[in-house]
Every structure is written in structure tokens, then in C-alpha cells.
């Protein structure tokens, strides 16, 4: 049972097409698991369709249709169908664009005890990071908070922290105010899609020490104040 959904505002921005690619992926991943939000997005998209129908038309060049048909005749082909499967299969299929073999065969990079990461993409400035995270059964991440937003979509298994319990499909946003310590369920590994809008800030005693080292080595990256989420 999915209990954590993206906000209505976020779904609206998704339907309108104004989210970043990384955020859109996270929202879409949730939609693969959540028929409820998928239906809302359908209806919101419908609102977009109606608003577009209401726009004051702007004239196009009279010969533009013929030019279009000429182009179509030269390069006509059918678009590849984007297949639609359900739930976990859909999630796997969406990710197969990065990891054709699925998340079971990627080379996970150890991060901490029982914690692994597989990097999918980073932004050019390095401040946005899209990755898969794995916490092995019973594993506990170090206490941390964030400089920016962290979006997590649970793909498989589940975890809990001070604020709640999360299952496959749940969509979770944490920001600067949230200090947390994710803990995987005892009996299965937890795999999540994570979008980090700015680097994580470690807050425990050991974390603070690591944090100081980080600042020492790359002050430009970790000292900036977080980007406004808007």
C-alpha cells in the first residue's frame, strides 16, 4: 500500500511539463506504482489540453502544411511504441534506458556499511545527482540532513526513519529541516531511486568530522547554500 505521494503542486508541474528531467523521472517512477496519482496526472493533463484548446489561435503560413507533407514523404516512419507495462516491470523498463540489465546486475559502489550507490547521472555543475541506492537488509544509513531536496522513490523492499515507514512505490521528499537515519527492513534489501539536488550533509559526530574533511577538500561544492527549490 503506497502511503507517500508527490504533492498536488508537483503533479501539476509534471503534467504541465515544467519539472527537470531528474524530478520528472522520480515522479514518473511513482506513477508506475501508483494508479491513484496516475489518474490525477491524466486529469491534470486533460486540463492542459483544455487550456490549449482555448488559446487564441496564431496564424501559420498558408504553405506550411504542404511543406510538412513533403518532409513526411521524405522521411516517413512510424514512431517506436513506448511500451506500457505495470508496477515493478514498468519501473524496471523505465530504468532500462540507463541500466539495460536491471538493478540486480549493476556494479554497486559501497558507500557505508551495507549501503551502496549506483550513479545514473549528474548535472554539469555536479550539484544534482541521480542515483540508485541500496541498503542491504537491516542496514542503517548514517544520520544526515540535506543542503537541498532529496527525492527518494522506493523501488523494491522498504525502509523506515524517524518520520515513517516506506514501501515500494512511496515518494518521499526531504529537505534541510529533515534530519534522518534511514534503516532498511530486516528481511529484504531496499532499492531506491534517489535524486539529490545538493550534496548530503552529515550530522552525526562521525559525520561532522567527515563533513569538515569534505569542506577542506572541496569547499566550493559543499559550502554553498542550498538552491531554492522553486
Partner 1 sequence: MTARANVVPLRSRAHMETPQPPVNGASDNEMTPAQYLGGLVKRIAETRDRNAFRELYTSHAPKIKAYAIKQGMIEFADELVQEVMINIWRRAGQFDPSKANASTWIFAIARNARIDFLRKRGRMSAEVQVETDYLWDLPGGDEPVEEHNRNKAADAVRDSLSILPTEQRDVIAKVYLEDKSHQRVADELDLPLGTVKSRVRLALQKLNAVLQEDLI
Q: Which residues bind partner 1 (CB under 8 A)?
A: 8-9, 12-18, 20-22, 24-25, 28, 31, 35-36, 38-40, 42-61, 64-65, 67-69, 71-72, 76-79, 81-82, 84, 94, 97-98, 120-125, 128, 130, 228, 230
Q: Select from 109, 158, 120 the least CA-distant residue to 25.
A: 120
Give the integer Cα–Cα distance in Å for 30 and 36.
10
Smallest distance from the beta carbon of 115 to partner 1, in angstroms? 23
**Contact region for Zn ion (CB under 5 A) — 5-13, 95-103, 108-116, 145-153?**
5-13
User: Residue 214, SS3?
Assistant: helix
**Contact region for Zn ion (CB under 5 A) — 33-41, 99-107, 174-182, 219-227?**
33-41
Q: In what order do the strands lie in the sheet with 183-184?
A: 164-166, 159-161, 183-184
The nearer residue to partner 1, 140 or 221, going by C-beta atoms, is 221
Interface with Zn ion, residue 5, by CB under 5 A: yes
- Provide the strand spans (E) within 44-176: 109-112, 115-122, 129-135, 144-146, 150-156, 159-161, 164-166, 171-174
The nearer residue to partner 1, 22 or 182, going by C-beta atoms, is 22
Residues 6+ apart with CB under 8 A from 139: 113, 114, 115, 183, 184, 190
User: How many C-beta atoms surround the C-beta of residue 120 within 10 A?
Assistant: 19
Binds 206: which of Zn ion, partner 1, none (CB < 5-8 Å by kind):
none
The nearer residue to Zn ion, 32 or 144, going by C-beta atoms, is 32
The nearer residue to partner 1, 38 or 140, going by C-beta atoms, is 38
Residues 6+ apart with CB under 8 A from 47: 15
Please identify which residue in 19, 34, 155, 190 interacts with Zn ion, judged by CB under 5 A: 34
Interface with Zn ion, residue 37, by CB under 5 A: yes
Please give the residue ranges that form the binding site for Zn ion (CB under 5 A): 5, 34, 37
Amino acid at each position: 500500500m503506497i502511503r507517500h505521494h508527490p504533492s498536488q503542486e508537483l503533479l501539476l508541474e509534471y503534467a504541465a511539463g515544467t519539472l527537470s528531467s531528474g524530478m520528472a523521472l522520480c515522479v514518473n517512477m511513482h506513477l508506475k506504482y501508483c494508479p491513484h496519482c496516475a489518474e490525477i496526472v491524466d486529469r491534470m493533463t486533460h486540463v492542459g489540453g483544455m487550456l490549449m484548446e482555448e488559446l487564441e489561435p496564431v496564424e501559420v503560413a498558408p504553405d506550411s502544411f504542404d511543406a510538412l507533407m513533403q518532409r513526411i514523404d521524405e522521411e516517413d516512419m512510424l514512431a517506436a511504441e513506448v511500451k506500457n507495462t505495470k508496477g515493478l516491470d514498468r519501473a524496471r523498463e523505465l530504468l532500462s534506458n540507463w541500466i539495460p540489465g536491471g538493478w540486480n546486475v549493476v556494479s554497486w559502489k559501497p558507500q557505508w556499511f551495507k549501503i551502496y550507490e549506483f550513479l545514473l547521472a549528474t548535472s554539469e555543475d555536479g550539484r544534482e545527482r541521480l542515483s540508485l541506492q541500496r541498503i542491504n537488509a537491516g542496514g542503517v544509513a548514517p544520520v544526515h540532513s540535506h543542503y537541498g531536496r532529496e527525492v527518494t522513490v522506493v523501488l523494491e523492499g522498504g525502509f523506515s526513519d524517524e518520520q515513517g515507514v516506506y514501501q515500494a512505490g512511496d515518494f518521499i521528499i526531504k529537505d534541510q529541516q529533515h534530519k534522518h537515519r534511514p534503516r532498511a527492513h530486516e528481511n529484504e534489501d531496499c532499492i531506491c531511486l534517489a535524486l539529490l539536488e545538493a550534496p548530503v550533509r552529515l550530522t552525526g559526530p562521525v559525520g561532522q568530522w567527515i563533513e569538515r574533511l569534505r569542506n577542506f577538500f572541496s569547499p566550493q561544492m559543499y559550502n554553498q547554500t542550498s538552491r531554492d527549490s522553486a
